[in-house]
């Protein structure tokens, strides 16, 4: 599903070069739950941003269903972000001026859904994450766990086959983290969504994922498949 | 995501920043308001002049006069030889044969007194052929009709003349304002129908040559009356319409009589003084001849063939070009003032939009992360800029109109002389309204161009790290 070959991401400023990612090679099977671990600054977010089409690199290739994301035009990248992948972040990244439902509706609108469909599907998505009663609340009125659920619902709005989660529990207490992880697991198991999750918690990574990537200084330190 | 969706997002963003959006829009309102009221003002004045010209048939009329010896001309002898120095019936007939000439008649006006009941008033009488009845303003009388024939003893009168004779025409277009000098008892307000058909005496004066010859000394000292008066009864058959524009008043005489009838009236004017001095070529000398074409396109060719015949031609239409040039300059100056106001408004738009990009960087990053394309972001910002322009344009036109309305009242009540009819100084044609809207939109979209492009190029990775 995802094939990464010789992928590097090098930040250049004048003569100064920072290699956030260096010569990565790995594959992700469809339907797997991948955990990406590593120290701070090891390049985890950079990797997810490349897969998610938010960032680009001119070194190496990143095939998503046989299409090289690194060769896509800006327009194609937008479509990739819109339909192929969903992303969630440590800081939830909900739009504050919009209610939970409106945040989801916005994603559906970019997906080309009609006004009526948007409303209906947004409610269904909220139901799926157990927040139908919070539909008309502003993000500031939601707890961290609830915010992350809304973000997950929004990321899944246009039915992507891959969900990229960059430290989704980084801002949550352990109980709430557990609920979010469970939600991701359900998506993975029941809907067959491929998940790549960055996490700092080795235990969680071992417990939930079937594929583990350990990065260090932008390089692959360890790649392991875990049979659950 | 379709365009209405983006427009709604844009409007919602403006709504979120009500105060700032409002102030930015206010800038556009003032800019468009200034621009439209200035243009409305110059077009209003222009329209007044053009309408006056049209109402007085300026575009189709010209006046033929004999060639005068021009002292500044180097070739004085040449002008005298080639030019025609007097106008008579032969010349009139030959003018009438020129192609495209619709009508040609000598300009005859003379001073006379009009007597109605016990009142009388001095005015100028104009003599016109019946054929003029098909042209404005004679074709469009306030009441009654034009003469029945060139020899009829009928008269068409101006409402101002009637006023001098103590009659105010009862009609919605006729002003009834009085000045301090007016004594109200002197006036009667009558409906037009009861004025028509009344008999009016036309009293004209003639220099009594016999009397002067008999007693030159007494004539010179004024003790003997050298003038004889003759009176002729006329029936009022028509009342001229109210002039709709400034300066139209008084161009024509206070009353009009048929041309042939006029010939029989002894009168004191230049021609008869000319007669007196014995300079006459014998009958029918005119100081000028009015020539009219039906189509303004023909004015130039007819004018040329008249000049080819050695006649001096004056067409006021020629002056209009100069007036138009003057207006172009005025338009340009006033337009520039309005444009500067709008330019400042445009900078306000740019400023507001750039500010809002800075504030919304993260939001733009989020939108990109859930699938917004560069184009989507661009159109959202364009929608915002466009809405500012459109709303600003609409209210700007209203402001311009309100300003014009107020200025109009002030000018008509306090600046124009009392007896002038109120004038429309501002003119808001449909093209001005639509043009102002379109211009406001264009300016705001142009102002939104840079911010929109800048917003669309925002790097989502950096934007998401932004707070
Ligand atoms: N725009 C940039 N310019 C220069 N260097 C950058 C830029 N963005 C990231 N880097 C560098 O790239 C490296 C990887 O960053 P990245 O954010 O991917 O780390 P991370 O593994 O996600 O860390 P964390 O766990 O703290 O989120 C870091 O050394 C960082 O300093
Ligand atoms: Mg990171």
Same-domain check for residues B257 and B343: no
Are B166 and B92 in a shared domain? yes
Residues B430 and B287 in one domain: no
Helix B18-55 to helix B430-456 angle, to the nearest 10 degrees? 150
List, for residues B374-420, the tens digit of each pLDDT value: 999 999 999 999 999 999 999 999 999 999 989 888 887 777 665 56
pLDDT digits (tens, 9 = 90+) for A125-151: 999 999 999 999 999 999 999 999 999
Average pLDDT rounded to a whole number, residues B421-450 = 87
Could you tell me whether strands A162-166 and A85-89 are parallel, antiparallel, or unpaired per DSSP bridges? Answer: parallel
Domain boundary residue, one of B287, B316, B345? B316
Residues B28, B161 within the same domain: no
pTM for the whole structure: 0.70
Domain-ending residue, one of B264, B297, B316: B316
Mapped onto helix, strand or coil, the DSSP state of residue A24 is strand
In chain A, residues with a C-beta closer than 8 Å to the C-beta of B1 are 109-110, 112
Residues 6+ apart with CB under 8 A from A11: A17, A18, A19, A20
Candidate from A94, A95, A158 with C-beta closest to B371: A158
Q: Can you give the residue range of the structural domain that contains B404?
A: 3-54+322-465
Looking at the fold, whether B269 and B376 belong to one and the same domain comes out as no
Q: What is the CATH number of the domain that holds A12?
A: 3.40.50.300
Whether residue B275 is predicted with pLDDT greater than 50 in this model: the reply is no
Pairing of strands A33-38, A59-64: unpaired
Q: Are the beta carbons of B37 and B410 closer than 8 angstroms? A: no
For B75-109, write each residue's pLDDT tens digit: 545 544 555 667 888 888 888 888 888 888 888 88
Is B123 in the same domain as B143?
Answer: yes
- pLDDT at position B93 is 87
- Clarify whether residues B23 and B67 are in a common domain: no
Domain that holds residue A36: 2-225
Pocket of ligand 1 (CB under 6 A): A 11, 18, 20, 38, 40-46
- Domain identity same for B337 and B303: no
By CB neighbour count within 10 A (0-12 exposed, 13-18 middle, 19+ buried), where does B377 fall?
buried
Alpha helix (H) ranges present in B360-458?
A: 361-369, 374-410, 430-456
Residue B21: what pLDDT?
93
Atom of ligand 1 at shortest range from CA of B462: 1
- Residue A46 CA: which ligand 1 atom is closest? 18
* Structure-block tokens of residue B42: 């110059």
Residues B220 and B276 in one domain: yes
Does A110 contact B at CB distance below 8 Å?
Answer: yes
Ligand 2 center–CA A90 separation, angstroms: 9
Distance B129 CA to ligand 1 centre (A): 98
Nearest alpha-carbon partner for B209 in B227, B223, B221, B224: B227
Q: How confident is the model at residue B72 (pLDDT cuts 50, 70, 90)?
A: low
ipTM of the complex model: 0.95
Question: Domain check: are B424 and B333 in the same one?
Answer: yes
Give the mutation candidate from B10, B356, B370 for the A interface (greatest A CB count, under 10 A): B370
Residues B363 and B271 in one domain: no
Q: Are B367 and A82 a contacting pair at CB < 8 A?
A: no
Cα A18 to averaged position of ligand 1 atoms, centre (Å): 9
How many CB atoms are closer than 10 A to CB B117?
13
Query: What would the pLDDT profile of B222-233 be if each residue is shown by its tens digit?
Result: 555 667 778 889
C-alpha–C-alpha distance, residues A76 and A67, integer Å:
11
Based on the domain organization, do B347 and B420 belong to the same domain? yes
Mean pLDDT (whole number) for A111-130 = 94
Q: Which chain A positions have a beta carbon within 8 Å of B364's beta carbon?
A: none
Place B182 in a pLDDT band, splitting at 50, 70 and 90.
Answer: low
Question: How many domains, chain B?
Answer: 2
Q: Are A84 and A90 in contact (CB under 8 A)?
A: no
**Predicted confidence (pLDDT) per residue in B341-366, tens digit:** 889 989 999 998 899 999 999 999 99
> What number of other Cβ atoms are within 10 A of residue B82's Cβ?
11
Mark yes or no for CB contact B369/A157 under 8 Å: no
Give yes or no for a contact between B432 and B71, defined as CB atoms under 8 angstroms apart: no
Q: How many distinct structural domains can be found in chain A?
A: 1
Top pLDDT among B242 and B400 is at B400
Choose the final residue of a domain: B294, B316, B338. Answer: B316
- CA–CA dist B364, A217 (Å, integer): 30
Residues in B closer than 8 angstroms to A89, CB to CB, are 464
Grade residue A93 by pLDDT with cuts at 50, 70 and 90. very high
């Amino acid at each position: 599903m995802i094939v990464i070959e010789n992928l590097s991401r090098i930040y250049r400023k004048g003569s100064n070069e920072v290699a956030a990612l260096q010569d990565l090679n790995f594959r992700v099977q469809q339907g797997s739950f991948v955990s990406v671990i590593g120290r701070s600054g090891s390049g985890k977010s950079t990797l997810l941003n490349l897969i998610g089409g938010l960032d680009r690199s001119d070194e190496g290739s990143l095939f998503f269903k046989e299409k090289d994301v690194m060769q896509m035009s800006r327009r194609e990248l937008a479509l990739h972000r819109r339909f192929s992948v969903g992303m969630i972040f440590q800081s939830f990244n909900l739009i504050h001026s919009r209610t939970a439902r409106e945040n989801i509706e916005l994603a559906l609108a970019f997906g080309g859904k009609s006004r009526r469909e948007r409303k209906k599907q947004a409610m269904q998505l909220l139901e799926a994450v157990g927040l139908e009663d919070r539909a008309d609340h502003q993000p500031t009125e939601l707890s961290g766990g609830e915010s992350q659920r809304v973000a997950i619902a929004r990321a899944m709005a246009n039915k992507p086959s891959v969900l990229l989660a960059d430290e989704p529990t980084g801002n949550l207490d352990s109980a709430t983290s557990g609920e979010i992880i469970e939600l991701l697991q359900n998506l993975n198991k029941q809907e067959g969504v491929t998940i790549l999750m960055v996490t700092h918690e080795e235990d969680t990574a071992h417990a939930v994922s079937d594929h583990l990537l350990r990065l260090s200084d932008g390089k692959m330190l360890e790649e392991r498949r875990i049979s659950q | 995501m379709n365009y209405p969706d983006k427009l709604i997002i844009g409007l919602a963003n403006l709504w979120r920043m009500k105060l700032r959006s409002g102030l930015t829009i206010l800038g556009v309102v003032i800019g468009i308001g200034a621009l439209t009221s200035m243009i409305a003002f110059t077009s209003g004045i222009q329209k007044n002049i053009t309408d006056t010209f049209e109402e007085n048939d300026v575009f189709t009329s010209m006046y033929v006069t004999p060639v005068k010896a021009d002292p500044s001309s180097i070739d004085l002898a040449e002008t005298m030889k080639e030019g025609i120095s007097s106008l008579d019936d032969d010349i009139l007939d030959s003018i009438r044969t020129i192609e495209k000439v619709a009508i040609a008649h000598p300009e005859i006006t003379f001073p006379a007194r009009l007597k109605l009941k016990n009142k009388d008033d001095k005015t100028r009488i104009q003599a016109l052929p019946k054929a003029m009845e098909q042209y404005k303003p004679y074709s469009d009388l306030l009441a009654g009709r034009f003469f029945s024939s060139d020899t009829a003893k009928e008269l068409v009168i101006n409402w101002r003349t009637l006023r001098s004779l103590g009659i105010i025409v009862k009609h919605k277009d006729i002003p009834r304002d009085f000045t301090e000098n007016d004594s109200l008892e002197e006036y009667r307000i009558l409906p037009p129908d009861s004025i028509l058909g009344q008999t009016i005496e036309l009293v004209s004066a003639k220099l009594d040559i016999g009397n002067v010859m008999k007693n030159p000394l007494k004539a010179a000292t004024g003790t003997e009356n050298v003038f004889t008066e003759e009176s002729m009864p006329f029936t009022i058959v028509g009342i001229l319409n109210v002039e709709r524009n400034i300066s139209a008043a008084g161009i024509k005489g206070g009353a009009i009589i048929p041309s042939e009838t006029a010939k029989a009236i002894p009168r004191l004017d230049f021609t008869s003084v000319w007669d007196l001095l014995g300079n006459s070529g014998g009958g029918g000398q005119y100081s000028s001849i009015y020539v009219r074409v039906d189509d303004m396109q023909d004015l130039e060719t007819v004018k040329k063939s008249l000049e080819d015949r050695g006649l001096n031609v004056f067409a006021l239409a020629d002056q209009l070009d100069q007036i138009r040039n003057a207006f172009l300059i005025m338009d340009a100056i006033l337009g520039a003032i309005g444009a500067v106001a709008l330019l400042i408004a445009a900078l306000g738009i740019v400023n507001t939009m750039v500010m809002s990009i800075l504030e919304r960087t993260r939001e733009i990053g989020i939108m990109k992360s859930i699938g917004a394309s560069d184009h989507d972001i661009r159109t959202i910002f364009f929608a915002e800029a466009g809405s500012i322009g459109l709303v600003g344009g609409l209210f700007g036109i209203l402001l311009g109109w309100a300003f014009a309305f107020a200025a109009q009242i002030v000018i008509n009540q306090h600046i124009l002389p009392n007896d002038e009819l109120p004038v429309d100084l501002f003119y808001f044609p449909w093209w001005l309204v639509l043009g102002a809207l379109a211009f406001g939109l264009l300016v705001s979209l142009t102002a939104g161009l840079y911010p929109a492009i800048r917003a669309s190029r925002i790097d989502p990775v950096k934007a998401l790290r932004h707070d």
